[in-house]
Structures are given as structure tokens and as C-alpha cells.
Amino acid sequence: MTTAATGRAVESDVLGALRRLRIVPVIVIDDPADATPLAGALIEGGLPCAEVTFRTPHAAEAIAGMAQAHPEMLVGAGTVLTPQQAARALNAGARFIVAPGFNPAVVDYCLERGVPVYPGVCTPTEIEMALGKGLQVLKFFPAEAAGGLPFLKAVAAPYSGVEFMPTGGINPENLPSYLGFKRVLACGGSWMAPTEWIAGKQFDRIRAETERAIRVVRESVAVPRGA
């Protein structure tokens, strides 16, 4: 079992990386053989991070491939719906867990092991459930479908200590607006490495789009973040 102090150190390391990067590529990968070249493309593009979603049968294999080939990369697991999936992800080398909703069983499993976990929330009730577990960084999902940045600002207002990672409908056009909100720690997005590009082994294209995303982030950082 991970000690509380170790768990806090791990959480601090992961959050530190997310604060620096400001984007988390959300990955859906069908063929685990694509994991290593995909990781290489993201790293070369300036984004050594990936959230590999459990939307395909080979997610754990993909996580293992990335983690083993590129130990410097921050690899996490997304769309984690059960403690069993969380266990598979962690055994494969995932360093953080992301869920689409607030599942107390998944949250408890991760907290008991000192693993950073970012459950999805969309309402005040869900935020308060997360606060009850001691969580301060949450995924806001589905961001655009739920009402976008105006809705996030409204729902975040009563909870001054909470930070959010919006995911769902984020793209290069709306990314600066989200990053300009001081309560947004980072954004998740799939546009840099969509499933069809991965399946088509268009890794140069993924690298180029990642570089473009990093430029958007740098330009956004140059603008003061607002309330």
C-alpha cells in the first residue's frame, strides 16, 4: 500500500507536469503496436503526456508500451469505469486515473493506493461529492456539450478551491479561452491524435498537430488568466 506521504508526492509530481503542459492528449488506440510510435510523435511534438482511454480492449497494452518505451512520458488511463480497470491500468504503468463520471468505488480504490484520480463532474452535486473525498482537481465533462466555458465558470464559482480539466469538444479554437480561465489547470483533447490518424499510422501528422497545439498554449500563457 502506498503511504499517504508518497501518495501526496506522486500527486504533486503529476499535477506539476499537467500545470506545465496545459494539454492532455486523450487517446483511443485500437492496435497496441501503434502505442510506441504514437508516444514518440507526441514527445517530438513537445507534449510528453497521454491519457489512454479504456474504450478499446487493448488500452492496458498500449499504456504498457508507452510507459516502457518512454519512461519520461506522463502516461495515464482514461474512461476508467471500475476498480478492476483501474488495477489493470496501474499494473500497466499508468501514473494517473481519469473517469468520465464520479464513481465512488474507482475514487476510493485510487485514493487507498495514493494514485492521482480525476473523476468527471458536471454539476454542483458531483463537485460536492468529490470534495467529500478530499479531491480538489476534477475533470469537467462533457465540456462543450454541457454549456462550455460560461457553464464552467458558473458551476465553479461557489467552489473557490477546486481546479478543473475540461474535456469534450476542446479544439485549437476554443482552447485559449479555456486556458484563460484561472480555474482551469489543463484541458483534455483528442484533436492532436484522432483515432483515424493513429490507425492510419500518420505519426508525422500527429507530431505536427501537437506542435501546433503547443504553440497555441504558449500564446495563451502570454495572456493574463482571468476569473
Q: Say which of 61, 139, 163, 209 is annotated catalytic.
A: 139
Helices then strands (H, E): number in the chain? 11, 9
Sheet with 163-166, strands from edge to edge, namely 120-121, 137-140, 163-166
Q: Say which of 51, 61, 163, 209 is annotated catalytic.
A: 51
Compute the distance between CA of residue 112 and CA of residue 7 in angstroms, rounded to an integer: 9
CA-CA-CA-CA dihedral for 107, 113, 115, 117, to nearest 10 = 0
Q: Is 209 a catalytic residue?
A: no
Provide the grid cell at 12.
504533486
* CA 12 to each of CA 15, 19, 73, 86, 171: distance values in angstroms, whole numbers, following the listed order: 5, 10, 16, 20, 27
Q: Is 133 a catalytic residue?
A: no
Provide the grid cell at 26.
486523450
Provide the grid cell at 36.
510506441
Max distance between CA atoms of the chain, in angstroms, equals 45
| Beta-bridge partners for 117 | 97
In the 8-state DSSP scheme, what is residue 33? G
Residues recognised as catalytic: 51, 139
